[in-house]
Structure 1
């Protein structure tokens, strides 16, 4: 009897081991495989997959992803989830304009499709990467229940966690790989809130168990006080306002630069704005793109929603930039608790000055492209837009500092990187809040190098937290400094010193 029990147990163990091995080595879903892309005629350097993951059958919530396998060793390289910000901006922003597998160039003929070439600095060189349109209603993601488009930080984190769990059920062979979560701009909210949900799931034994290792945030929204007080010191340090004005603002505003404490403070801050209003807010070194369909006058007045109006002021000129990636206007209105308008809502649906998303818009609204990437047709979900006004978004998670403390104190690795010429979320704020955590400095402020040149500066803290700047870069670091971005990204994922 004992032998029979032992044999039975042995068979059961063998069956379980065989089943686990079979699940982990199952191929990715063939119906998600992309075999060709309009505008690209060569062979893909790795497998590409895309499609929808339904995270709520009863509501019909469908999140769209584009998955690029690593060009290195996909079975061992990390899996990275990439999120663009907004809120309301598609992660095809990152795919097309930043670190995706292709470089896109405008069509040579009117009405034609953009031409695509391999990107030598794609982040898929060293990682598997998932580009996700989130929350539902953004990009190619949609729901059959309109009320789902009213959403906030906390529900977005829950939905994206649900997506990850279902995605790994579809691609279980990647479960053993290290998982990282990355994003920029308003994804400074998405990334830590999602990371927190993932860690809670791991603690609770939620299946499948994700091999989460850490996260990356680029020029990310974090905390209204730190973000709100970042602009004036940045502007002074960059030589955009005079010493005299800087000292006057400091004196009159008592160090609070985003909620005026007096009428005199308010007038001084208005002078700061006057000095900055015609700069490219996302990269002060870059010129402005002017759409041929846009008005000639760049001093465009916009009507601010009541939650962003200052006492006695409802109109203000819009800051300029090359392209638009997230809510960054007004200059002195950090993201606070409550409704956060998307760019189209903020501008009443008008074209954003200095914005050029023509390549992405043309490509993703082409019927052949939609078919190739397994996306729904325009007749079903409408046009793809870089940033949508379809969602109604509530910032309900508060400051991210408590999230960062929770995650880093548990040993999860965090890289907070910042293009040092971004005026949207200036590096001065990110540097200040990382320092505010009170962690011991283990790698004192120093330059980091690339190709024998200073590429930026970093400061390393205990608990695996690193703050890093990228010299000469704007808001979207991989767009402006693709080689340097791949360098620090590769080193961080590999756990090597940058």
Structure 2
């Protein structure tokens, strides 16, 4: 415990990664530190157990709700030429469970694909983090009251939908408190129900090319949701959701790789000594089933918060309603503490997605210490895909943007100088990478 605290403190100090909520707190790290004390894990989505039976999905009438969700203007926002929407989609009427979304259309929305963005945690907000800190059209000024325009926002090239999931995250809620004890399976099911109903509310997007993107613990969310979409499309013999691809960044996809890659990253970045690194490798067990030995243990920001808790902002977002559990928070740490099912690895799910024919991209900010590039490279090797285009430097605005390698049915891209929140650290490079992903082309290899 002592060495992990030291590591995460070092990461915050040297800016290897953002510190959630300005607290120097890493939700994913905290989740993983508790795993070895648990007896078993549910690998329901890691194994080949796809049911051939369709589970009915709740679908409600959505007439008129799109118009009521339209945002006339956010407090303190600059003038823009695109439409915004936000509001709630009920996913379980009996429990009173509803998920909150924010949707930023592109200026030429009719010609652009639809992209869902999911932050991880688990339990962290896609609006406070993804929309207002990373890839959304606005960022919050230091006064906590006004916004500035992000010229590298992803809605330059896509219609971007941000979802706060599961219930209890951000403005999403349930009237049944037991719903706040949740996990991967329920999160995937609720996100799917959300999408089906949201597409009823926005029917013009029903046949639009659809992509799912996200980061960190969304390395679980994104593949699992994509798997569920393809499974239901197959069972119903219809394209309920027109999924074309996924992209996950600095993704937690394999438990063992996470720790081994992290320690190797600390060592190669000169954050720990040769002696400490050798001691960790010799004494630590990176599987979740076995506890660490005593020898191993011996080795071992406020602007958005203020803005989203302003009554005028919540009213403009259609979020200030009875039933929201307290003020908006960037991460719900109670959900983190009560997270139930989480397979050790989602690599089998990713392999299925690779075989399905959709586009699968995995990207990594090369200065991240939470899920380092070394961790992701170890996971890529486990996928066992042959190389089609060898490792090469790609360019953005006349300089190296990172490196890329194309494997059979999966592409791996690094973003140079980016931490855990890639679009926050390197907005220009992130947009260039994202544009290539949507175009189905490798990032440019010349300047």
TM-score in terms of structure 2 length: 0.80
SS at 2:327 equivalent? coil
Q: Does 1:376 align with 2:320?
A: yes
Q: Where do residues 69-80 of structure 1 align in structure 2 (5 Å cutoff)?
A: 69-71=105-107, 73-80=108-115
**2:397 matches 1:451:** yes
Q: Which has the higher contact order (CA 8 A, sep 6+)?
A: 2
Aligned residue in 1 for 2:256: 225
Deviation of residue 206 (structure 1)? Answer: 7.2
Q: Provide, for residues 306-345 of structure 1, a one-character-per-residue CA deviation record: whole Å limited to 9, x for no partner.
A: xxxxxxxxxxxxxxxxxxxxxxxxxxxxxxxxxxxxxxxx
Distance 1:197 1:462 in 2: 23
CA contact under 8 A between 1:188 and 1:218: conserved in structure 2?
yes
- Unaligned 5+ segments in structure 1 are 1-25, 108-112, 271-355
Write out per-residue CA displacement over residues 250-274 of structure 1, whole angstroms, 9 at most, x where no aligned residue.
4x2388598677554544x33xxxx
Indicate the RMSD between aligned Cα atoms, in angstroms: 2.1
Partner residue of 1:39 out of 76, 79, 86: 76
**CA 1:378–1:471: 2 relative to 1, 3 Å:** farther
Q: Deviations over 1:267-322 (max 9, x none)?
A: 4x33xxxxxxxxxxxxxxxxxxxxxxxxxxxxxxxxxxxxxxxxxxxxxxxxxxxx
Checking the alignment, whether the CA contact within 8 Å between 1:230 and 1:429 is kept in structure 2 is: yes
1:117 is paired with a residue whose SS is strand
Query: Any conservation in 2 of the 1:229–1:257 contact (CA below 8 Å)?
Result: no
In the alignment, the residues of structure 1 paired with residue 240 and residue 286 of structure 2 have an alpha-carbon distance, to the nearest angstrom, of 44
Give the match for residue 305 of structure 2: 361
Distance 1:429 1:455 in 2: 20
Classify 1:241/1:128 alpha carbon distance in 2 versus 1 (closer, same or farther; 3 Å).
same
Please point out which of 341, 348, 354 is paired with 1:395. 341
Residues 149 and 239 of structure 1, relative CA distance in 2, 3 Å threshold: same
Which consecutive segments of 4 or more residues in structure 1 shift more than 4 A?
Answer: 254-266
Q: Deviations over 1:101-140 (max 9, x none)?
A: 1122111xxxxx4221211000000000111110011100
Moved more, 199-208 or 425-434: 199-208
CA contact (8 A) 1:229 1:256 kept: yes
**1:341 equivalent in structure 2:** none
Contact 1:75–1:177 (Cα < 8 Å) also in 2: no
- Given that residues 33 and 47 in structure 1 are in contact (C-alpha distance below 8 angstroms), is that contact kept between their aligned partners in structure 2? yes
Pairwise mapping of residues 15-414 of structure 1 onto structure 2 (< 5 A)?
29-40=66-77, 42-71=78-107, 73-92=108-127, 93-107=129-143, 113-205=144-236, 209-250=240-281, 252-253=282-283, 256=286, 263-267=294-298, 269-270=299-300, 356=301, 358-377=302-321, 380-391=324-335, 392-414=338-360
Unaligned runs of 5+ in 2: 1-62
Change in 2 beyond 3 A, CA 1:207/1:168 = farther
Q: Distance in 1 between matches of 2:291 and 2:323?
A: 48
The residue aligned with 1:326 is: none
Aligned residue for 2:440? 495
Contact 2:174 2:323 in 1 (8 A): no
Deviation at 1:87, TM superposition (A): 0.9
> 1: CA distance between counterparts of 2:395 and 2:324?
49
Matched residues in 2 for 1:470 and 1:77: separation?
24
Maintained 8 Å contact 1:165/1:207 = no
Q: Deviations over 1:441-493 (max 9, x none)?
A: 01111111111211111111011x11111111110000000000000001101
**Hey, what's the Cα distance between the residues in 1 that align with 2:180 and 2:369?**
30
* Distance (whole Å) between structure 2 residues aligned to residue 100 and residue 66 of structure 1: 10
Is the 1:91–1:133 contact (alpha carbons within 8 Å) kept by the matching residues of 2? yes
CA distance in 2, matches of 1:387, 1:246: 32
Name the CA distance, whole Å, in 2 between partners of 1:453 and 1:263: 47
Shift of 1:244: 4.4
Distance in structure 1 (CA, Å) of the matches to 2:292 and 2:313:
53
**Which residue in 2 is equivalent to 1:345?**
none
Separation of aligned partners in 1, 2:262 and 2:324: 42
Paired residues, number: 377
Q: Deviations over 1:158-184 (max 9, x none)?
A: 000000000001111012211011111
Structure 1 residue 242, shift from structure 2 partner = 3.0
* Contact residue 28 and residue 171 of structure 1 kept, 8 A: no
User: Retained in 2: the 8 A contact 1:165–1:208?
Assistant: no
Asked if structure 2 preserves the Cα contact closer than 8 Å seen for 1:138 and 1:390, the reply is: no
Whole-Å separation in 2 of the counterparts to 1:91 and 1:256:
30
Q: Which secondary structure state, in structure 1, belongs to the residue aligned with residue 240 of structure 2?
A: coil
1:143/1:248 Cα in 2 relative to 1: closer, same or farther (>3 Å)? closer
Match for residue 331 of structure 1? none
1:426 is aligned to 2:366: no
Contact 1:228 1:257 (C-alpha < 8 Å) held by counterparts: no
